[in-house]
Amino acid sequence: MRRKFVYPAQMETQSFGSLEVNVRTDVGFVPIEGAEISIGYTGVPNSQIEVINTNVSGKTPTIELPAPPIEYSLEPSPEQPYAEYTCTVTTPGYEPVVVNGIQLLPERKALQDIEVIPVGNGVNAQQLNGESIVIGPHTLFFEYPPKIPEDEVKDIAETGEIVLREPVIPEFIIVHDGPPADASARNYWVRFKDYIKNVASSEIYATWPEATIQANTLSILSFTLNRVFTEWYRGKGQNFTITSSTAFDQKWIYGRNIYENISQVVDAIFVNYLARPNIIQPILTQYCDGRMVQCPGWMTLLQ
């Protein structure tokens, strides 16, 4: 039987999305059975609405939770189109983890991976100085720095030595979590497909039609593979593949949830990219939302 909750403030709705949490160790990615997951509204203290446990595969049951009307994410709207939830993970022998701001869209399934480490093994990979993970706002509902224009096909001479003769899909890429010149920003090794799923979940809405999601995902793939192929940042003396800054690259948000339907699209098309005739190099497909940021001559996000 569906449980009905009243979401605070603007959330007077009978729309629902769903959430599945996956808990595993940070080393070896071993699933954690019996982890307790407490779910509440982000920003509302003592708002626990559900407590669930992981199974032998480290996964929770899929639960339905209130979300805004789907129209908010299909048409321009001043209303936030997603609900935000907080998950607190506790399990014997492991450090607790808190994830704030899980973004739940209506009629879609959100997937949240959470890694834990044994008690006494230092700082959790997903916690800095004991702080919780805070998922930043979606790019379509927040004004991040606009993309600095670049040539869509790079002059090889500009990037230093090129080690790739043709596009290759890497297993991992290194994401610099900040602008290129920010030496204090952390670098993260991220599986290529996981990176694409994260960016797509951060830059488009999972409620959009599948063909629209495919088109935008293809643009994200092409941009990423251009950075990989040209060794763009390594050619400038940096030790990473790409950044999380919207001014330079695409929005990757550490620790964020993805969406099941976006994940399926990425799994189906991740070996594809856009290119010009007789040019091996993937196109650096720069784009903007076309509303909060105008970009004449570029691609705009398709709804």
Q: Each residue of 191-204: b (16+ CB within 10 Å) or e?
A: ebebbbbbbbbbbb
Q: Taking Cα atoms as reference points, which of 113, 139, 110, 142 lies closest to residue 126?
A: 113
- When pLDDT is averaged across residues 151-170 and rounded to a whole number, the result is 72
The model carries a pTM of 0.88
Residue range 104-150, pLDDT digits in tens: 999 999 999 999 989 876 554 444 434 489 999 999 999 999 999 99
Any domain includes 280:
yes
pLDDT, tens digit, 9 for 90 and up, residues 262-291? 999 999 999 999 988 888 899 999 876 555
Domain range spanning residue 288? 156-300
Has residue 10 been placed in a domain?
A: no
Do 291 and 189 lie in one domain? The reply is yes
Domain count, the chain: 2
Last residue of a domain, one of 129, 164, 179: 129
pLDDT band at 245 (very low <50, low <70, confident <90, very high): very high
Whether 4 is in a domain gets the answer no
Q: How many CB atoms lie within 10 A of CB 267?
A: 11
What is the CATH classification number for the domain harbouring 44? Answer: 2.60.40.1120
Please indicate, yes or no, whether residues 204 and 95 belong to a single structural domain of this protein.
no
Q: How far apart are CA 174 and CA 242, in angstroms?
A: 7
Question: Would 167 be classed as within a structural domain?
Answer: yes
pLDDT at 278: 86
pLDDT of residue 280: 87
Residue 261 has pLDDT above 70, yes or no: yes
pLDDT band at residue 164 under the 50/70/90 scheme? low
> Which of left, alpha, beta for 255 (phi over 0: left; psi -120 to 50: alpha)?
left
- Same domain for 181 and 216, yes or no, is yes
The answer as to whether 263 is a domain residue is: yes
- Would you list the DSSP string of the chain? -------STT-----EEEEEEEEEESSTT-B-TT-EEEEEETT-TT-EEEEEE--TTSBPPPEEEE---THHHHS--SS-SSEEEEEEEE-TTB--EEEEEEEE-TTSEEEEEEEE-BTTSSS-TT-STTPPEEPPPPGGGS-PPPPPP--SS--GGGGS----SS----SEEEEESS-TT-TTSPEEEEEHHHHHHHHHHHHS-TTS-HHHHHHHHHHHHHHHHHHHHHTTTGGGT-S-SEES-TTTS----TT--EEHHHHHHHHHHTT---B-TT--SBP---EE-SSSS--TTSEE---
Q: What is the pLDDT of residue 224?
A: 97
| Residue 137 falls inside a structural domain | no
**Same domain for 193 and 294:** yes
Q: Is the pLDDT of residue 199 over 90?
A: yes
